[in-house]
Structure 1
Amino acid sequence: MLKIVIIAGLLIVAAMAAAAVYGALGWADGTRQLRVRLENARMPITPEVVNFRELEGLPEPVQQYFRTVLKEGQPMVTGVRLRHQGTFNMGETTDQWRPFTSDQRVITRRPGFDWDGRVKMMPGLTVRVHDAYVAGEGILYAALHGLIPLVDLKGAGDVAEGELMRFFAEAAWYPTALLPSQGVRWEGLDARSARATLTDGAVTLTMLFSFNDSGVIETVRAEARGRTVGKNVIPTPWQGRFWNYTERGGMQVPLEGEVAWLLTEGAKPYWRGCITAIEHEFAK
């Protein structure tokens, strides 16, 4: 009897390992296809270098931000490759933090990205996630071992808006994308904050950028981003927070951050991570 149990256990372990390998191969192929679409949507970037003359007339904290993180005459960022590690809160009502690793591809014009995440639920159990904005389409797809779908959202409308919000908030990692020449309109509020508006295709959104004493972006907030609760999507205030600014690619970019839903009972963080590698591509 013991022998049968041992054999059965070994077969289960082997089956799980085979499923993980098969899922990883299929996921890698899907990732390649998604990123080909991202590259195909790429547009030429103009101008090709940073010119501080375009800062004239911008709100004072916005001007200070660009002068702090950029250099006059440096090339514009056209793309980024990043790697992260951190923890992801999988619980809707209670905290269930799980470790994750990810790699991300960003194209600044036309705005787009693909975040390829791997969340370790428990030993031997991994959820793979694509969170993406490609050619005006929002994508959120999660699958156990890359095989069994758990979440599958894609399309225009609210899904696209939510993903473009992420691209916009994360522009602190590729700050030339926030310049007026890249389609961003700035409206001053006070000495520490300004609203920024971005349009891509049919999607237009406005977010609140707040700056710290050093002049860099501290938080980015949206008043309503779609939050999935059960089978419902509820518009909810959302905020990204950044710190640990370090020079990368000749720019000051934050290497650590946290993302949270701002609920009536208080902030509910769900993503905490740090950049372990970042490589910028520049206009030539």
Structure 2
Amino acid sequence: MKIPSSTASLVTASLIFAGIAVTVVGIGKTKWHAKTNELRARLDAARRPMTSETVDFNTLTTLPPPVQRFFRTVLKDGQPIVAGAYVKHKGTFNMSESGEKWYPFTSDQRVVTQRPGFDWDGRIKIMPGLSVHVHDAYVAGDGILHASLLGLFTVADMLDKSDVAAGELMRFFAEAAWYPTALLPSQGVRWDAVDEKSAKATLEDGDAKLTMLWTFTEAGSIDTVRAEARGRAVGGKVIPTPWQGRFWNYTQRLGMSIPLDGEVMWLLPDGPKSYWRGHIDEIVYELAQ
């Protein structure tokens, strides 16, 4: 049976296109992987010696009551301090500034607690075979937000601006719910009383200094973390906006009680606007020695 020349040409063109697509995807993955390795090498190069290696409940007696209750709930006296972590997530991300355009994502994240830093390597699937790769990071005092289609074509790039760095340090601080020893006074965090269910915590890194409001459940775990002004990208500009993270579904990992689920939102005049909802699939800790 003879195949019509037009059909043969179409098949040939389809095979060529498929081959080009596979090549482009492969190049993108290789390029993105190299950038991930570079960022994480910088994270490790900026590390500082741990100021303490174990949890000491004797150092908690001057803290506000809800903070004392939190540490005694989620930690054990004498357990090792977390020096770093590897985290894998899955969830959904809202890519619309004003509406609701939720897309699935998977990600892996490297965290170092001293000097504070992380790299979130996310892949947001916007359609079959097409993903936006995202580095959201705080490395050696620099804030990094880089999004790239297929890992090749940049669609957003924010680097080293003071508001970006402050926003990324806020993210590190809020996500300490996953590595709660990083919130201890021995790790450089100062706690100030607010009321019986909340307290303010202050963290400094280099020239950056930030204070956030933490609220706790009756059981003693973290419920929400709030910043009064985090940089929000709107129409190409960065607008300081109230921001909040919420955590739930606590479980035990290496003697610590941590949340497996979280949600992040902007607190806008017309109500909260969520943009990240995620679940921890896996978390592996590096402990101080």
- Using the size of structure 1 for normalisation, the TM-score is 0.98
- Would the aligned equivalents of 1:136 and 1:156 in 2 still touch at CA under 8 Å? no
Does residue 211 of the first structure (1) align with residue 216 of the second (2)? yes
- Residues 11-41 of structure 1, C-alpha deviations (whole Å, 9 max, x = no match): 3332222111110011111111110000001
Match of 1:27 among 23, 32, 52: 32
| Corresponding residue of 1:14 | 19
Does residue 154 of the first structure (1) align with residue 168 of the second (2)? no
Does residue 76 of the first structure (1) align with residue 96 of the second (2)? no
The residue matched to 1:235 in structure 2 has which SS?
A: strand
Structure 1: which 4+ aligned runs deviate by more than 4 Å?
A: none
Does residue 48 of the first structure (1) align with residue 57 of the second (2)? no
- Residues 59-101 of structure 1, C-alpha deviations (whole Å, 9 max, x = no match): 0000000000000000111000000001111111211110100
| Corresponding residue of 1:264 | 269
How far off its partner does 1:250 sit? Answer: 1.2
Letter of the structure 1 residue corresponding to residue 141 of structure 2 = G
What does 1:43-122 correspond to in 2, within 5 Å? Answer: 43-122=48-127
Q: Which has the larger radius of gyration?
A: 2
- Would the aligned equivalents of 1:75 and 1:283 in 2 still touch at CA under 8 Å? yes
The residue matched to 1:128 in structure 2 has which SS?
A: strand
Q: How many residues align?
A: 284
Letter of the structure 1 residue corresponding to residue 174 of structure 2 = A
Match of 1:188 among 179, 186, 193: 193
How far off its partner does 1:4 sit? Answer: 3.3
Hey, what's the Cα distance between the residues in 1 that align with 2:235 and 2:13? 36
Match of 2:172 among 140, 159, 167: 167
How far off its partner does 1:9 sit? Answer: 3.3
Unaligned runs of 5+ in 2: 1-5
What does 1:245-264 correspond to in 2, within 5 Å? Answer: 245-264=250-269
Does residue 39 of the first structure (1) align with residue 15 of the second (2)? no
| Corresponding residue of 2:3 | none
Hey, what's the Cα distance between the residues in 1 that align with 2:17 and 2:254? 47
Match of 2:132 among 115, 127, 130: 127
How far off its partner does 1:2 sit? Answer: 4.0
Hey, what's the Cα distance between the residues in 1 that align with 2:16 and 2:67? 60
The residue matched to 1:4 in structure 2 has which SS?
A: helix
Letter of the structure 2 residue corresponding to residue 46 of structure 1 = T
What does 1:132-147 correspond to in 2, within 5 Å? Answer: 132-147=137-152
The residue matched to 2:133 in structure 1 has which SS?
A: strand
Letter of the structure 2 residue corresponding to residue 270 of structure 1 = Y
Letter of the structure 2 residue corresponding to residue 215 of structure 1 = G
| Corresponding residue of 2:204 | 199
Hey, what's the Cα distance between the residues in 2 that align with 1:11 and 1:223? 53
Does residue 176 of the first structure (1) align with residue 181 of the second (2)? yes
Hey, what's the Cα distance between the residues in 2 that align with 1:90 and 1:3? 41
CA RMSD of superposed structures (Å): 1.0
How far off its partner does 1:156 sit? Answer: 4.2
Hey, what's the Cα distance between the residues in 1 that align with 2:112 and 2:67? 23
- Would the aligned equivalents of 1:221 and 1:238 in 2 still touch at CA under 8 Å? yes
- Would the aligned equivalents of 1:249 and 1:279 in 2 still touch at CA under 8 Å? no
Query: Which deviates further from its counterpart, 145-154 or 9-18?
Result: 9-18
Hey, what's the Cα distance between the residues in 1 that align with 2:240 and 2:263? 19
